[in-house]
Amino acid sequence: MKAASAPSYRMPEPAFTLRTTVSYIEKKRKRRVAKEIVTGCCGCCNALRPRYKRLVDNIFPVNPQDGLVKSNMEKLTFYSLSSPEKLDRIGEYFYQKASRDIYRRRHGFVIIAMEAMDQLLVACHAQTLNLFVESYLKMVQKLLESTEPKLQILATQSFVKFANIEEDTPSYHRRYDFFVSKFSAMCHSNEDRPYMRNQIRLAGIQGLEAVVRKTVSDDLVENIWEPVHMDKIVPSLLFNMQESGFHMKEVGSVEAAPEDELDPPTLAESCLRELVGKASFGHIKAVLKPVLRHFDLHELWCPNQFAVHTFRIIIFSIQAQYSYTVVESLMAHLDENSKSSPEIRTSIADVLSKIIAIAAGESVGPSVLEIINSLLCHLRDSVKNGINQAEEKQYQDALINALGEFANHLPDYQKIEIMMFIMSKIPFPPKVNQTPADNLLQSILLKSLLKVGTKYQTIHFNTTFPVSFLEPLLRMSLAPDPEMRLLVQKILHTLIDRHNNLEKLSKATVLVSDLDLVLEKSSRPDLIFINKHGPVIYDALYTSLQIETNSVENIEAIYTTVSLLCVELASAEVVIDIIQLLLGIQNLAITNTSLSASQAYNLHVLVISVFELICVVFDLPSLQKYANKIIAARRKQDHFLLPEMLSHYPDNHYPNPKEPFVYLEQTAICDILREDGLDPSRLSQTSPYGAGGPGAIAGTSQRHSWSETNARGSVVDIGTTQDVDSESSSPGVQKKLPEEKLTFEHMKRVLTEPPEARKEAEAEKREELNNFFRTATLAEIMQRTKPKHEDLQTKLQEIFKSLSSSEVHRSPTHQKKVEQEIPVYEQNFPEMFAY
């Protein structure tokens, strides 16, 4: 080091003194600084008075170990504050000195130079900073370019300080490209000495953090969100995080690292948090893309602890309103991985399910349905992928789980929307050539629906079951596939049960008082609901019980549904309706020869169990006495008529229809109800399910017409088509008398057309509709049927009018039928068509 020339304490000298020294400078130049950068030809040589150089030289001690010469540093600082126009030259001179020292491996002096520059940087006024920054950054870069880890770390620390300084007018041509590249490389240091490796990586992360801080607020300086930067920064952070393995530890056992002991994983994590937190909507993808890519390349999906950990960090740090972008990206990533192994997809879906709840709270409007739709699409694709693989099934479960988690955190009104949306995606009625994949898709979608349903808490039935939801649900309760029917019942259970009685009512029993049921008086809206929709529901349940493919689970599930309805909708009217239904079911068990013995037994068990339940729930002592008599008789004569429901009964064992006192009797019940203060008159009218008592088959045909006009008639042509379909695809559905499948369309024709023409037109119409329903979406079907329903009401009115005005023309049988049915139409139709 050259000797320090005598320090001058004078303030900047006048211009003439400067001139006198020019020749001296020239000499010096030739001798020592020949390789100095040629800064240009602006002819400003006269400003190059070496005073600043001397001041700079003076801060260096003879021995680098002695450190910065503090008093001289003060002089330099004072000088540069008073002559800020010299700052760029001071900086440049420092840079040249340091370059030389690095080259000669005199690191002690380099460190001192850096320290001095740091101090000048801090001392500079904001307005003048710009003059200095250029050479300062060149200096930092120079140090980073050296192979000496110590210098690299020093430079990074200095850069971090620089990044914390607020600049008034950042220089727009400044670029941080090199810093991002170099710091990212440092994050991946593979230095042999572990301690040094850690230090270099730590410095790399700190450097990246500093660049982000420096640039994030001003895109003009450097758009740090450009992929060219993010593709370096993000993997560098993740690479350091994944090495920690602390995400593998149990949640409870995570000990916070000592505050002062920074380690790369912890720092990388906090840096990622900061980065994500600063990302605006337009930038979020630039962060997420390299994250996803990193997980792919480093095979970090399976097992997925680190992925879950990382995505939790992301979703908690991201500005809340963008959180659904994370969900969206993960889902898009599932798309991209459609060819990957089911294990990977399951893991991704699992990550999704673990963060989706957090996003749900912030998702609004269309994004909600988009997310649901996307999940459903993935389910559909998965079904296409493979039907029998266990791994694929796990993937589906993970998706359904995600769906449930998502729905769980949405407000209830959105849950209903979602349920209706899922419903609209279920392909129904089943196709004629239904494949196992179609079946699977239906049942998977129903499972999703069930999942959402379990997260929903019913308050009023009319909000839970809008007609547009209830109606297709009931239709699906008659699906040919028993699995699917069971799912529909389970959906009904979870939606009907408001008092946590579901568990208690899951198995048929006559020991009702042991159940400890929670009861509450039903509200007016509920009673209005069941008045309106009860008949359709009961009919769907009744019809479902006729299906030959029912297992004991199917029948028991219907028991649960009926019981829940009793418990949740206790009213005098409901009592009568349900007793009527029970009588119908009992009749079915006795007369329907296509049911197996075990099905018949199961039905009897259902009947007595619900009957007993009614007595307890509605507190009907006389009726209960009657019930107990029957139970006692059954216990004596055929205990298989009592719970529990079995799937197999002893060979050649059938319920004996002739056995006295073991079945409910309509007339007896009517009398007893009167004793209990209820009006049984409706019960003594002709039952919609048949005459009621054992052996009274006479009324069956009427029940059919009733049911057709309600449950199926309500959807008119859809109902007809479905019947056609189910006949061809499922022999299980009872359709003995096709002539009886009356809809109003049909009825009108019956009344007005000659039989031949009617049959022809009907066949044609069915064909056409069949085609339509095979190809149309549910939305289209709704569209198509909607105006019809409205039409129908007008038509009905016409018919009724014409009936009353011209009865003479009707045959007696027709007349009778129509007359009986009038009240039912009036009661049920207007609402049924109110989509």
Partner 1 sequence: MEDYKFLFKVVLVGNAGVGKTCLVRRFTQGLFPPGQGATIGVDFMIKTVEVDGEKVKLQIWDTAGQERFRSITQSYYRSAHALILVYDISCQPTFDCLPDWLREIEEYASSKVLRILVGNKIDREDREIPVHVGEDFASRHNMYFLETSAKEADNVEKLFMKIAEDLMQQARSKDLLRYDKDTANITGKTSVITDSNCCSRLT
Asked if residue 236 binds partner 1 (CB under 8 A), the reply is yes
Binding partner 1 (rule: CB under 8 A), the pick from 54, 86, 89, 182 is: 182
Options 289-297, 506-514, 596-604, 686-694: segment touching partner 1 (CB under 8 A): 289-297
583's tokens: 């009588």
Asked if residue 36 binds partner 1 (CB under 8 A), the reply is yes
Options 224-232, 546-554, 686-694, 771-779: segment touching partner 1 (CB under 8 A): 224-232
How does DSSP assign 550-609, residue by residue? --HHHHHHHHHHHHHHHHHT--HHHHHHHHHHHHHHHHHHHH-TTS-HHHHHHHHHHHHH
Q: Which of residues 78-97 bind partner 1 (CB under 8 A)?
A: 96
Which residues neighbour 633 within 8 Å (Cβ) at sequence distance 6 or greater? 661, 662
3-state helix/strand/coil string of 66-84 = HCCCHHHHHHHHHHHHHCH
Count Cβ neighbours within 10 Å for each residue of 72-82 and write b for 16 or more, e otherwise: bbebbbebbee
Asked if residue 132 binds partner 1 (CB under 8 A), the reply is no
CB closer to partner 1, 99 vs 401 = 99
Return d(Cα 688, Cα 680) in angstroms, integer: 15
Instruction: Report the nearest approach of partner 1 to the CB of residue 186 (Å).
Output: 8
Return d(Cα 137, Cα 133) in angstroms, integer: 6
Return d(Cα 310, Cα 114) in angstroms, integer: 37
Tell me if residue 519 falls in helix, strand or coil.
coil
Binding partner 1 (rule: CB under 8 A), the pick from 126, 228, 248, 761 is: 228
| Amino acid type, 746 | H
Instruction: Report the nearest approach of partner 1 to the CB of residue 292 (Å).
Output: 10
Return d(Cα 748, Cα 6) in angstroms, integer: 120
Options 9-17, 234-242, 368-376, 823-831: segment touching partner 1 (CB under 8 A): 234-242
Binding partner 1 (rule: CB under 8 A), the pick from 145, 397, 548, 671 is: 145
CB closer to partner 1, 298 vs 809 = 298
Binding partner 1 (rule: CB under 8 A), the pick from 175, 625, 636, 801 is: 175
CB closer to partner 1, 178 vs 413 = 178
CB closer to partner 1, 294 vs 345 = 294
Asked if residue 120 binds partner 1 (CB under 8 A), the reply is no
Instruction: Report the nearest approach of partner 1 to the CB of residue 556 (Å).
Output: 53
Q: Which of residues 297-316 bind partner 1 (CB under 8 A)?
A: 297-299
CB closer to partner 1, 13 vs 177 = 177
CB closer to partner 1, 39 vs 783 = 39
Asked if residue 100 binds partner 1 (CB under 8 A), the reply is yes
Instruction: Report the nearest approach of partner 1 to the CB of residue 149 (Å).
Output: 12
Return d(Cα 488, Cα 505) in angstroms, integer: 17
Tell me if residue 31 falls in helix, strand or coil.
helix
Asked if residue 791 binds partner 1 (CB under 8 A), the reply is no
Binding partner 1 (rule: CB under 8 A), the pick from 49, 294, 703, 789 is: 294
Binding partner 1 (rule: CB under 8 A), the pick from 63, 65, 169, 190 is: 190
Asked if residue 264 binds partner 1 (CB under 8 A), the reply is no
CB closer to partner 1, 178 vs 835 = 178
Options 70-78, 183-191, 441-449, 629-637: segment touching partner 1 (CB under 8 A): 183-191
CB closer to partner 1, 105 vs 175 = 175
Binding partner 1 (rule: CB under 8 A), the pick from 72, 130, 156, 184 is: 184
Return d(Cα 569, Cα 502) in angstroms, integer: 14
Instruction: Report the nearest approach of partner 1 to the CB of residue 52 (Å).
Output: 19
Instruction: Report the nearest approach of partner 1 to the CB of residue 138 (Å).
Output: 7
Binding partner 1 (rule: CB under 8 A), the pick from 3, 6, 11, 41 is: 41
Return d(Cα 323, Cα 319) in angstroms, integer: 7
Angle subtended at Cα 321 by Cα 319 and Cα 322, rounded to the nearest 5 degrees: 70
Closest CA to 613 of 745, 485, 517, 750: 517
Options 98-106, 732-740, 769-777, 820-828: segment touching partner 1 (CB under 8 A): 98-106
Instruction: Report the nearest approach of partner 1 to the CB of residue 297 (Å).
Output: 5
Asked if residue 220 binds partner 1 (CB under 8 A), the reply is no
Binding partner 1 (rule: CB under 8 A), the pick from 174, 285, 380, 784 is: 174
Contact 518, 616 (CB under 8 A): no
Closest CA to 591 of 512, 701, 671, 472: 701
| Amino acid type, 450 | L
CA-to-CA dists, residue 707 to 298, 536, 547, 742, 812, angstroms: 61, 8, 15, 9, 21
Interface map 711-750 toward partner 1 (x if CB under 8 A): ----------------------------------------
Which residues neighbour 357 within 8 Å (Cβ) at sequence distance 6 or greater? 405, 406, 408, 409
Asked if residue 188 binds partner 1 (CB under 8 A), the reply is yes
Return d(Cα 797, Cα 799) in angstroms, integer: 5
> Quick one: which H or E segment has residue 503?
none
Q: What is the DSSP letter of 338?
A: T
Instruction: Report the nearest approach of partner 1 to the CB of residue 230 (Å).
Output: 8
**Burial class (CB within 10 angstroms; exposed 0-12, middle 13-18, buried 19+) of 260:** exposed
Asked if residue 40 binds partner 1 (CB under 8 A), the reply is yes
Instruction: Report the nearest approach of partner 1 to the CB of residue 141 (Å).
Output: 8
Instruction: Report the nearest approach of partner 1 to the CB of residue 214 (Å).
Output: 15
Binding partner 1 (rule: CB under 8 A), the pick from 20, 126, 178, 646 is: 178
CB closer to partner 1, 48 vs 620 = 48
Dihedral in degrees, nearest 10, Cα atoms 398, 400, 405, 410: 150
Asked if residue 403 binds partner 1 (CB under 8 A), the reply is no
Asked if residue 31 binds partner 1 (CB under 8 A), the reply is no
Asked if residue 239 binds partner 1 (CB under 8 A), the reply is yes
**Burial class (CB within 10 angstroms; exposed 0-12, middle 13-18, buried 19+) of 186:** buried
Return d(Cα 737, Cα 672) in angstroms, integer: 36
CB closer to partner 1, 290 vs 719 = 290
How many residues touch partner 1 (CB under 8 A)? 42
Asked if residue 138 binds partner 1 (CB under 8 A), the reply is yes
822-825 long-range contacts, CB within 8 A, separation 24+ = 824/535, 824/688, 824/706, 824/709, 824/710, 825/709, 825/796
Binding partner 1 (rule: CB under 8 A), the pick from 10, 173, 648, 658 is: 173
Asked if residue 214 binds partner 1 (CB under 8 A), the reply is no
Instruction: Report the nearest approach of partner 1 to the CB of residue 151 (Å).
Output: 13
How does DSSP assign 414-449, residue by residue? HHHHHHHHHHHHS--SPPTT--HHHHHHHHHHHHHH
Options 186-194, 486-494, 652-660, 662-670: segment touching partner 1 (CB under 8 A): 186-194
Return d(Cα 256, Cα 408) in angstroms, integer: 32
Asked if residue 215 binds partner 1 (CB under 8 A), the reply is no
Beta carbons within 10 angstroms of residue 302's beta carbon: 15
Binding partner 1 (rule: CB under 8 A), the pick from 227, 277, 657, 738 is: 227
Which residues neighbour 813 within 8 Å (Cβ) at sequence distance 6 or greater? none
Q: Which of residues 546-585 bind partner 1 (CB under 8 A)?
A: none
Q: Which residues of this chain interact with partner 1, rule CB under 8 A?
A: 35-41, 96, 99-100, 103, 138, 141, 145, 147, 172-175, 177-178, 181-182, 184-185, 187-188, 190, 192, 227-228, 231-232, 235-236, 239, 290, 293-294, 297-299
